[in-house]
Structures are given as structure tokens and as C-alpha cells.
Amino acid sequence: MEILAFGVQADEKPLIERAFHGHDEIRCLDVFLNEDTAPIAAGHEIVSTSVNADLGAGVLEILAAGGTRMVAQRSTGFNNIDLDTAGRLGMTVARVSYYSPYSVAEFAWTLAMAVNRRIVRASTRTRDFDFRLHGLMGRDMHGRTAGVLGTGKIGEAFARIAHGFGMRLLGWDVAENPACMELGMRYVPKDELLAHSDLVTLHLPLMAETRHLIDAAALKSMRDDAILVNSSRGGLIDSAALVGELRAGRFTGVGLDVYEAEAGLFFLDKSLEAIADDTLARLVTFPNVLVTSHQAYYTEDAVGQIVDATVRNVLDYREGRRSENVLVPRG
């Protein structure tokens, strides 16, 4: 049986083909799943999708009509999937509940240090043989305060790095992580964390309760010279409100690996097109903002674990087993 995999990156393709070898035939497509591409899946019982796939009701209806019975998403997040519709259609949906938290935590730190030490500006200058230091002054992280919103596996990994830098730790989550508390983290209300943190980092899932968690009011409560990093989900931040604060000259730096309207943009080459998204177009123009294309998870270690888990999810579906990765069980 052939499995159809949507949204496969060139670096990812050999890992997927190697992992499925000996189990199933798999065809990898670089196009993303949406209403226009969903008919391609006709005749495929199992499809695998990427984090930016559109798995709303309309797409699921098309897949089901074409004979698809299982969706294996290659990500932890699943806010792009209409689970109720999948259940009504009798489709099994599985995700990857765990992969290397270090990939994302380390990249979040890369963003933080890049904006703090003006690395992009410095690199651009030296390519033009401009070796001046004017405008490149950063700050020591040692002795400053890191605020971690979301202290699960990734937040904990970030906190361990911050602890290594010698930072004070503030945390906010629905449940306290004992490992973070052993590092000296103090759990406080969100407003207190935002008001007292030099560095704020987001490591939360995107749900109705967390959408625009960092809204206009939250941004105004942050320090003028704070650093804000988001390597989780774009919808956690009100992007338009963030542009407003940046226009006012606030924040030492902002590092964004995700954007709330990234679907249809991220993972694609748009360099020869006019970008209709005025908010994103403005964000990338600020000298203290660094935007990357949802690559925090993109290490050999993490992608390898994601692919291996996807293979297990497919085998579990075939054998009628159910694991912690199953979001909608077999109908």
C-alpha cells in the first residue's frame, strides 16, 4: 500500500523514505495539503501531513470521499486539524507527541542571542567590509531575568540553558514543573512575569485559551528593553499589536520563528512575489526583529524522531493499536 506524504522538505525526504523502507511504499510531495491539493490523495488510505497543512472540515471531507482513513501528522501541534469532523468521518488522526525538546529550546536561544548581539546586522555589514561597532552593542544575559511561559519539556530545556547563563528564572504555567523549580525558577502570575523579565520566551500550545496570550495589554506590560522570543505557535502573539509596539520604538529585540498567518507563506519561496500580508511585511523591516521560517524543530535528531514516530503511528493503525499519539481513534 502506498502512503502519500504532503509538505515534505528536501532534507526531510531521505529520512522519511529510509524510515518507511521495509514497511510501506511512500510517495513524498513538496506541495502542502489544502483544498486544491487534497484530490491528489484519492485512493490513498493513509496520508501524512506537515504542521502547516489545512485539515479543516472541507479538506477532510475531500480526503474521506477519496478513501483516506488515516491522517498521520508529522508534528506535535494539531490546531490545524478539525478533530470533530475527523471523528464524524470515521478517520483516525495521529500526531507526534514527543521529539527532541532541545532542538526548539536551542533555537529559541539562538534567536534571543542573535537579536541581543545584533548578529544579522553585523554579518550584513562585514559582507560589505564595514567593520564598525556602532549600533551593535548587546547586553550580558548573566544576572538578568528570563521569563518562561510554558514550562513543559521545551520550556524546561530552555530554562536549563538560561540557568547555565546565570539568569534568574520566572515561570508561568497551569502546572509547576519540579525540575524547573530545582533550577531556582519562581512561578508567578503572567503579568508579573512580563513586567520583570529581560527575556520572555513562549513554549505553549495554541488553543482557544492561549490565542493572543501576548496581546496589546500584555505587550505594554513588558519592559521597554525586553527581548521577546516565540518558537512555539504564531497565534500566541497578536502580531498587529506587536507591530504597534515596535513602531513606538520598544523592545531590544524580537525573535519569531512562527507567525500567526504563516500558512501559505512559510516553507515556500515567495522571493519573486509581492507579499500581501502587510503585518508580516512590516515585521521583517524592523532592525531589531528577526523572523525565521518555522525551523526551530528542524534538526536531524528531531526530524528523525518525528519520522520514526510517524512510522509507528502508521503501524499501530494497521494493527489496531492505540498509543498516546492518537488524537482520533480508529472509527
Could you tell me which residues come within 8 angstroms of residue 22 by beta carbon, excluding any fewer than 6 positions away? none
The residue from 233, 245, 250, 260 that is catalytic is: 233
Catalytic residue among 12, 245, 260, 262: 262
Q: Is 196 a catalytic residue?
A: no
**Residue 66 backbone zone (phi > 0: left; psi -120 to 50: alpha; other: beta):** alpha
Catalytic residue among 74, 203, 250, 294: 294
How many CB atoms are located within 10 Å of the residue 130 CB? Answer: 10
For residues 136 and 108, give the distance between their C-alpha atoms in angstroms, rounded to a whole number: 20
- As a 3-state breakdown, the chain gives helix, strand, coil percent values, each rounded to 5, of 35, 15, 45
Half-sphere exposure of 267 (CA within 13 A, CB side): 24
The per-residue DSSP string of 158-200 comes to HHHHHHHHT-EEEEE-SS--HHHHHTT-EE--HHHHHHH-SEE
Question: What's the angle, vertex CA 19, arms to CA 52 and CA 315, rounded to 5?
Answer: 85
Q: Exposure pattern of 78-113 as b/e (b: 16+ CB <10 Å)?
A: bebbbeebbeebebbbbbbeebbbbbbbbbbbbbbb
- CA 20 to mean position of chain CA atoms: 25
118 is catalytic: no
Instruction: Map residue 321 onto helix, strand or coil.
Output: coil
262 is known as an active-site residue = yes
What 8-state DSSP symbol labels residue 250? -
Task: Report the 10 Å Cβ neighbour count for 144.
Answer: 17
Distance CA 296, CA 170 (A): 23
List, in sequence order, every residue forming a beta bridge with 148; answer none if it has no partner: 171, 201
Catalytic residues, by residue number, are: 233, 262, 294
